[in-house]
Amino acid sequence: MADIIKLLPDHVANQIAAGEVVQRPASVVKELLENALDAGASQIKLIVKDGGKALIQVVDNGEGMSTTDARLSFERHATSKIQKAEDLFNLHTKGFRGEALASIAAIAHVEMQTRRETDEVGTHLKIEGSKVAFQEVCVTPKGTSMSVKNLFFNIPARRNFLKSNQVELRHITDEFHRVALAHPSVAFYFYHNGSELFNLPSDNYRKRIVHIFGSRTNQKLVPVEEETPIVKIKGFITKPEFAKRSRGEQFFFVNNRYIKSPYLHHAVVAAFEGLIKSDTYPGYFLYLEVDPASIDINIHPTKTEVKFDDEHTLYALLRSTVKHSLGQFNVAPALDFDQDPNLLTPYGFKDKSAVEPHVTVDAGFNPFLETGNKAVKSFSYRKGSDQNWESLYVGMESKLGDETTAHSISFESDTITGSIFEDENELSESSTTTFQLRRKYIITTIKSGMIIIDQSRAHQRVLYEKFLKYSTIKEAVSQQLLFPLTLSFSKLEINALKDIEKILVSIGFVFEKVEGESITITGVPLLVAESEVGMILDQLISDYQQQVGEENFSHTDILSKTLAKTLSVKTGEVLDKQSQLALVNDLFACKETRISPFNKPIYITITENDIDKKFI
Ligand code: ADP
Ligand code: MG
């Protein structure tokens, strides 16, 4: 039989390699920016059109290339950065595989203009699908300009796979951030569809971070610094009180290269243990310097994963360094600002003996007071007084007292639609007895037995439906702020805010001004405390940025979910009797009572029969 193995032609091999290196426009951006850095540029301009689908151009003032090098640079495994295998263990450049340009040229239309300082004229080269379409001498400034058009023009399946321009732009921006954060001394400019998104002058690390993420970031940063024989660590962490519910600003750089490392991430999070709520994440910008021989970057084509020789030691060092900074800068006590310290205890501590919570109770507070507007009848579920804490047993005696209180309140609830009740009186008659168990569940009785309600999920459901309703009835109710509130955001965040401004208004935010790097707010939705506005907007923006453009995405839905999650009563909060009852009644006035907005069960029922069986 004839031999059947053949070497693939170069253009086919390049296309295959491209599949690994170029997943989306952002990958091209990363490779081109890194090449510009490797060429020693001090100024780099990134120009993008239509989320990178129409154009990605990087212009640098680096060392440029000779005509021969310009042509060679598009060959596979053509690199000026390493020559022999040993060089792999002493890398000081971003690139070394010599694959990026060959891969990009295999799947796009690429045009390059380049000139070295010593050459009088430069080279102008066009390559389309690995074939040289055009080569000429040209007049061009020192450095290199590389434009990539019509990405995936010859692989329709990949092109169709691309997301909306907005989503692709977000990925590009992420890459841009990573490169710009790693190289603060280089000036970067970034334009999208003709408008300037970033203009970052040469700066130090702190100022670069603040330039990118907005002036508000400055006050959040705590410096980190440590030098040991195996690693130098510097950078910043964000103060615990600024921990976010979503992963956002978390960056590791190893020898000025952005890397992903769940293991090191864990080390940082571990250092924050006990200082932040368990479902929030700290921000960090950590720059590690290690001996290049002690790491392997060549384990993934995109070079974002690194293998360390001594990961365990690194973990321990990182954790203690971050801990030390948190202690040294005395950020922990700052947490105590009028917040229930119990909230700061991670739920994992639940089995330790609890310190008695001290919560001041507003005796005159009546959660059932009409607010004047029917559509927004709302309760804020309050933390209860101490004696109600885990009152499952002691509560038995006080049942009578509780009933009296409950009956004395005239409470006009929407019709109860909870399907577990055979007749709608079932709950109202017996639900006057509620208990809170382990600051997590509300237990109440029904005719057939009892139900155990997850307090946080129940409240999420109640708030979620409320916000959805606000946004549809078009009569959002807001509370006027005594003084307008001005908050600053980064440019990108302001852009995102503009996108969702209408929806925010529909749920009760009143904006006086949204421009430049700040916004002024004169009204907020009911239930939102003024002190929480910044945190809530942060959360809304980051959720929006994460979700935008994804399929089946409804802005209102996502924002209502975010608000519900952010504002809901949490596990660990003590609720007083009235609040427990109000929550139960509100829940069963919801359209959907069984699952939370995040598709988790809200309650379980245990029938008398179930209980009887246990006693056999
Ligand atoms: P690598 O960066 O891994 O070496 P690339 O395919 O990205 O591989 O680039 C191939 C070569 O082209 C580089 O080694 C470098 O010599 C040259 N090159 C690419 N971009 C530039 C640039 N902007 N300025 C100067 N030289 C460049
Ligand atoms: Mg490269």
- pLDDT tens, 120-136? 999 999 999 888 999 99
CB distance 319 to ligand 1 below 6 Å:
no
CB distance 568 to ligand 1 below 6 Å:
no
CATH of the domain at 133: 3.30.565.10
Which ligand places an atom closest to the C-alpha of 142? 1
CB distance 235 to ligand 1 below 6 Å:
no
Which of 541, 519, 530, 527 shows the shortest CA–CA distance to 476? Answer: 527
Q: What is the mean pLDDT of residues 47-53?
A: 96
Which ligand places an atom closest to the C-alpha of 96? 1
Which ligand places an atom closest to the C-alpha of 65? 1
| Angstrom distance (rounded) from CA 445 to CA 450 | 4
Give the pLDDT confidence of 154-163 residue by residue, as tens digits: 988 888 888 8
CB distance 202 to ligand 1 below 6 Å:
no
CB distance 82 to ligand 1 below 6 Å:
no
Residue 98 alpha carbon, nearest atom of ligand 1: 8
Average the pLDDT over each of 63-72, 174-183, 240-249, 542-551 and give the range with the smallest value: 542-551
CB distance 31 to ligand 1 below 6 Å:
yes
257 assigned to some structural domain: yes
Distance from residue 55's CA to the centre of ligand 1 (Å): 19
DSSP H helical ranges for 488-596:
491-506, 533-547, 555-567, 577-587
- Local structure of residue 96 (DSSP, 8 states): -
Give the pLDDT confidence of 270-296 residue by residue, as tens digits: 999 888 877 788 999 999 999 999 898
466 and 580 in a single domain? The answer is yes
E-only strand ranges, 61-201: 109-115, 122-128, 131-138, 143-149, 187-192, 195-200
Q: What is the mean pLDDT of residues 358-366?
A: 51
Residue 93 alpha carbon, nearest atom of ligand 1: 2
Among protein residues, the one with the nearest Cα to ligand 1's atom 23 is 36
Using an 8 Å Cβ cutoff, are 597 and 463 in contact? Answer: no
Among protein residues, the one with the nearest Cα to ligand 1's atom 17 is 73
| Angstrom distance (rounded) from CA 518 to CA 505 | 17
Count up the domains in the chain and report the number. Answer: 3
Give the pLDDT confidence of 210-221 residue by residue, as tens digits: 999 988 889 899
216 and 195 in a single domain? The answer is no
Strand 441-446: give its sheet, edge to edge.
Answer: 434-437, 441-446, 449-454, 603-607
388 assigned to some structural domain: no
Specify burial of residue 367 (Cβ count, 10 A radius: 0-12, 13-18, 19+): middle
451 and 479 in a single domain? The answer is yes
Average the pLDDT over each of 520-529, 581-590, 603-612 and give the range with the smallest value: 520-529
Q: What is the pTM of this model?
A: 0.67
Please give the pLDDT value at position 426.
46
Query: Got the DSSP string for 539-556?
Result: HHHHHHHHHTT-TT--HH
Question: Roughly what angle, to the nearest 10 degrees, separates helices 165-182 and 25-38?
Answer: 20
383 assigned to some structural domain: no
Distance from residue 23's CA to the centre of ligand 2 (Å): 15
191 and 212 in a single domain? The answer is no
Distance from residue 94's CA to the centre of ligand 1 (Å): 10
| Angstrom distance (rounded) from CA 319 to CA 244 | 19
Which ligand places an atom closest to the C-alpha of 80? 1
Using an 8 Å Cβ cutoff, are 29 and 175 in contact? Answer: yes
Do strands 510-515 and 232-238 pair parallel, antiparallel, or not at all (unpaired)? Answer: unpaired
Which of 607, 614, 584, 604 shows the shortest CA–CA distance to 448? Answer: 607
Question: Roughly what angle, to the nearest 10 degrees, separates helices 491-506 and 533-547?
Answer: 100
Structure-model confidence comparison of residues 96 and 405, the more confident one:
96
Dihedral sign for Cα atoms in the order 588, 591, 597, 602: positive
Average the pLDDT over each of 299-308, 363-372, 531-540, 582-591 and give the range with the smallest value: 363-372
Strand 478-488: give its sheet, edge to edge.
Answer: 478-488, 518-525, 510-515
Please give the pLDDT value at position 316.
93
533 assigned to some structural domain: yes
354 assigned to some structural domain: no
pLDDT of 421 strictly over 70: no
pLDDT of 419 strictly over 60: no
Please give the pLDDT value at position 242.
85
Q: What is the mean pLDDT of residues 471-485?
A: 77
Residue listed under structure tokens 């001005």: 486
Among protein residues, the one with the nearest Cα to ligand 1's atom 20 is 35
* Segment 601-605 long-range contacts (CB within 8 Å, at least 24 positions apart): 601/454, 601/457, 602/453, 602/454, 602/457, 602/458, 602/461, 603/451, 603/452, 603/453, 603/454, 603/458, 604/451, 604/452, 605/420, 605/446, 605/448, 605/449, 605/450, 605/451, 605/452
Q: What is the mean pLDDT of residues 588-616?
A: 91
Distance from residue 97's CA to the centre of ligand 1 (Å): 10
Tokens of 542: 């980051």
Do strands 131-138 and 143-149 pair parallel, antiparallel, or not at all (unpaired)? Answer: unpaired
Give the pLDDT confidence of 179-204 residue by residue, as tens digits: 999 999 999 999 999 999 999 999 99
Question: Roughly what angle, to the nearest 10 degrees, separates helices 491-506 and 555-567?
Answer: 90
Instruction: Select the highest-mean-pLDDT range: 138-152, 306-320, 572-586.
Output: 138-152
| Angstrom distance (rounded) from CA 89 to CA 609 | 70
345 assigned to some structural domain: no
Tokens of 125: 């080269």
499 and 592 in a single domain? The answer is yes
Among 93, 101, 145, 257, the mutation site with the greatest number of ligand 1 atoms within 8 A of its Cβ is: 101
Question: Roughly what angle, to the nearest 10 degrees, separates helices 262-271 and 311-328?
Answer: 30
150 and 69 in a single domain? The answer is yes
Among 79, 116, 118, 123, the mutation site with the greatest number of ligand 1 atoms within 8 A of its Cβ is: 79
| Angstrom distance (rounded) from CA 208 to CA 246 | 22
Which ligand places an atom closest to the C-alpha of 103? 1
CB distance 147 to ligand 1 below 6 Å:
no
Tokens of 424: 């709608």
| Angstrom distance (rounded) from CA 272 to CA 101 | 42
Distances (CA, A) of 137 to 66, 70, 319: 11, 11, 55
446 and 321 in a single domain? The answer is no
174 and 229 in a single domain? The answer is no
Report residue 411's pLDDT band, with 50, 70 and 90 as the boundaries: very low
Tokens of 474: 């078009």
528 and 445 in a single domain? The answer is yes
Please give the pLDDT value at position 300.
76
89 and 186 in a single domain? The answer is yes
15 and 162 in a single domain? The answer is yes
Which ligand places an atom closest to the C-alpha of 62? 1
359 assigned to some structural domain: no
CATH of the domain at 221: 3.30.230.10
Q: How far apart are the first and last CA of the chain?
A: 78
Using an 8 Å Cβ cutoff, are 325 and 224 in contact? Answer: yes
Please give the pLDDT value at position 90.
83
What domain range includes position 453?
436-604
185 and 47 in a single domain? The answer is yes
CB distance 450 to ligand 1 below 6 Å:
no
Domain-terminating residue out of 282, 306, 328: 328
Please give the pLDDT value at position 352.
43
| Angstrom distance (rounded) from CA 211 to CA 198 | 9
Domain-terminating residue out of 168, 200, 232: 200
367 assigned to some structural domain: no
Among 34, 38, 63, 112, the mutation site with the greatest number of ligand 1 atoms within 8 A of its Cβ is: 38
Report residue 550's pLDDT band, with 50, 70 and 90 as the boundaries: low
CB distance 493 to ligand 1 below 6 Å:
no
CB distance 95 to ligand 1 below 6 Å:
yes
CB distance 65 to ligand 1 below 6 Å:
yes
Domain-terminating residue out of 328, 345, 370: 328
Structure-model confidence comparison of residues 400 and 79, the more confident one:
79
Distance from residue 79's CA to the centre of ligand 1 (Å): 6
